[in-house]
Amino acid sequence: MEKDLSSYRKSYQKGALLIKDTPSAPMELFKRWFNEADRILPEKENNAMALTTIGLDGYPKSRIVLLKKITEEGFIFFTNYNSDKGKSIDKTANVCLSFFWQELERQIIIKGKAEKVAPNISDDYFKSRPIGSQLGALVSNQSEVIKNRGELEDKLQELETIYKNKKIERPKHWGGFIVRPIEIEFWQGRPNRLHDRIQYQLQANKSWIKNRLSP
């Protein structure tokens, strides 16, 4: 079935991004934009981001994950290390993160290298999760083929009984990754498709250079 989308049009005119108004380091601008998204769009899941990895089959693959911590070193999310994305990162650490806040007409695109966080960071976050989410990490062999949903629900019910009134330890195959950025691009929609694009690139001395890119 064909569907012609060529008539879809939207004029972007909610903001501007001038290089003279940007800080010397990108994390300051990231936090500013993220805080604005949280303030203006409190009902949205503003920490949702697309994570793109290079799969074991050589193809790029993107999926939505949740950013859980922002540090000066990078961006932290949590997952099953045995999942498709976990195995992909283990083989190829180069990844991309993308945020899109449609209502603000803004994107942020981050290229970087992913690595596992220290075990104590994963332990602390796992303890903060609701019990159901903790058990979910035990139930799911993420990305593996299963017969049906009943298989998951039966296993969850079994574990609820086993761990009733017991502390749930973080499974070793579950934890965090930090993406340490080497390039961050901030994109602000503008009229006539002449969007503002400011790109930061990390230098060998750990400083950043920034440039305006043509839309």
What distance in Å separates the CA atoms of residue 177 and residue 116, rounded to the nearest whole number?
4
All residues at 6 or more sequence positions from 112 whose CB lies less than 8 Å from its CB, including other chains:
74, 75, 94, 95, 96, 97, 179, 180, 181, 182, 183
Task: Encode pLDDT of 150-202 as tens digits.
Answer: 888 988 899 889 998 899 999 999 999 999 999 999 999 999 999 999 999 99
Q: Looking at 9, 39, 149, 193, which residue is catalytic?
A: 193
Q: What is the mean pLDDT of residues 87-113?
A: 98
pLDDT recorded at residue 141: 85
Q: What is the mean pLDDT of residues 8-14?
A: 89
Q: What is the mean pLDDT of residues 99-106?
A: 98
41 compared with 164, residue with greater pLDDT: 41
Percent of the chain residues past pLDDT 70, beyond the cut: 100
Cα separation values, 211 from 5, 20, 105, 108, 149, Å: 33, 11, 20, 15, 49
pLDDT recorded at residue 215: 96
What's this model's pTM, rounded to 2 decimal places?
A: 0.93
Mean confidence (pLDDT) of the chain: 95
pLDDT recorded at residue 10: 87
pLDDT band at 9 (very low <50, low <70, confident <90, very high): confident
Q: What is the mean pLDDT of residues 65-78?
A: 97
Task: Encode pLDDT of 128-140 as tens digits.
Answer: 999 999 999 989 8
Q: Decide if 170 is catalytic.
A: no
98 compared with 154, residue with greater pLDDT: 98
pLDDT recorded at residue 144: 82
Residue 43 has pLDDT above 90, yes or no: yes
pLDDT band at 87 (very low <50, low <70, confident <90, very high): very high
Contact yes or no for 187/197 (Cβ under 8 A): yes
pLDDT recorded at residue 145: 84
Residue 188 — φ and ψ, nearest 5°?
Answer: -120, 125
